[in-house]
Structure 1
């Protein structure tokens, strides 16, 4: 699947939100990612992308608090939202969902009963692999649930997708080529109605997990008991309060052996299992990166 073939509301990108963006970026490079150049949002955040053919990880931090309030809508400011998240911890603060028509998707989702803070349009200056500068044009639809702040979403419509899905940014030495799943630590019942508003009958229980098939990756919700079994041997991300929050991003790699070699060579903390490799959350911005090889 490519960005052009992405399903509406498929997993577009989780926001791995960190205090020290430069230090976290250095760790992601040590894991074998080849990130896009650093760029900045108008509301004061700094960002880098780990691009894959159909989705990506956004590594994001706060750069300039004085810009909080820029591009705010109905009192909501993206920079302030991420700053508030960082006041209690790092990790996946939000997950963006793919859209090719933010306004139409926004209408449909609000009609499904989801609360929205509105729409934001903005531009972001960026540097392409050839060194030239250009400007991404983006529309966001905000669906932040105050009862589920760290399990919320926004829809993301890239009006110039060719500036985001740059093939030169998709060649990672660790062989990663896509996000397969985002796993939440939560009572599955807490997330069921929200996910059904997005995905309808594509939400179902699979053993101990509630799963929502987005068409481009799966959202999963598991209990603390299930998480302890599924991620035995590795630390779970630190959380200062019990609430639904993402704990793992599952990535496909073309070669688990390459992942193992890179992580060992660069002394990145990880757990090596027979059919997957788990990077410790302390090395990845307070989220487990779970590498698997599906083919």
Structure 2
């Protein structure tokens, strides 16, 4: 088995959080993804993964809200945190889309201690198991530790650390073969207005606590190069330049809205085949320079940018 070449706190997976999970998976199949089998979290959510070599997209929804707070929740500062309820509140707050971005960890305890010491607010740690079915039909159980860093002032631009104790059950080669020939996430872009001269950028302080000097401004774009993909923050004017004449995800139409992920950039080994597949399956998309961009409404309220050498 070939395990991912992840760096500490590299992009592990964005959570594309949707109301109708089955409908969203149908959309992703039309784009040429081959989702992993559907499975369920103990806190009431339903999930399927678009697996790549070093990271993945998780399409997640709510299956059973009655399980909120009953399994694998944690008490922090007297309040009980439940991951399922966090996702449900995101959907209640606004539209679908990227609710959180998971960062890779090989030691959740040590990484949790380091980022807490760096000043990031944390809801603590959660350990859980998730039943799953492997490509050969065998049933097994993933064992996962999460370290939660949900900033109440940045509810749609927060993170958690994900430590897979049995990575061989997640990074399955058979789940990494997609008709669109996508092999990884290269960037996630946020919309975030910079504020005034007296107020630091809402994401800069957070990203510097995680990545230190790997955070930099380039041509007006805040970037955090985490060694496995890039986190980017653009303002409304830059977003309009990068996605001309395209509707941004619905919850971010107001430039004064809180920071929120608007796009996931993916590498494909065969851009021409990807474009032909999208056209054949009537997936709405635009060609912007070297990028093929799928409309947010066709991807769970997030723009998907496909890039790659011809």
Give TM-score, length-normalised by structure 2. Answer: 0.93
| Matched residue, 2:81 | 76
| Matched residue, 1:284 | 299
5+ long unaligned stretches in structure 2: 195-200
Q: 1:215 aligns with which of 227, 231, 249?
A: 227
Considering only aligned residues, what root-mean-square deviation do their CA atoms show, in Å? 1.1
Q: 2:263 aligns with which of 234, 248, 258?
A: 248
Pick closer, same or farther for the CA change 1:3–1:113 going to 2, 3 Å: farther
Pick closer, same or farther for the CA change 1:27–1:40 going to 2, 3 Å: same
Aligned positions of 1:1-295 closer than 5 A: 3-69=3-69, 70-74=71-75, 75-87=80-92, 88-188=94-194, 189-239=201-251, 242-294=257-309
Partner SS, residue 97 of structure 1: strand
Pick closer, same or farther for the CA change 1:217–1:3 going to 2, 3 Å: farther
Residues of 2 paired with 1:118 and 1:220: CA distance? 26
231-240 or 21-30: which moved more? 231-240
Residues of 2 paired with 1:5 and 1:42: CA distance? 29
Displacement of 1:98 after TM fit?
0.2
Partner SS, residue 137 of structure 1: strand
Query: What are the Cα deviations for residues 209-256 of structure 1, in whole angstroms up to 9, with x where unaligned?
Result: 100001100000000011011100221000176110000000000011
Displacement of 1:4 after TM fit?
4.0
Query: What are the Cα deviations for residues 41-94 of structure 1, in whole angstroms up to 9, with x where unaligned?
Result: 000000000000100000000000110012111211000000000112100000
Number of residue pairs the alignment of both structures matches? 294
Moved over 4 A (4+): none
Give TM-score, length-normalised by structure 1. Answer: 0.98
Partner SS, residue 125 of structure 1: strand
Partner SS, residue 209 of structure 2: helix
Pick closer, same or farther for the CA change 1:254–1:4 going to 2, 3 Å: closer
Residues of 2 paired with 1:270 and 1:63: CA distance? 30
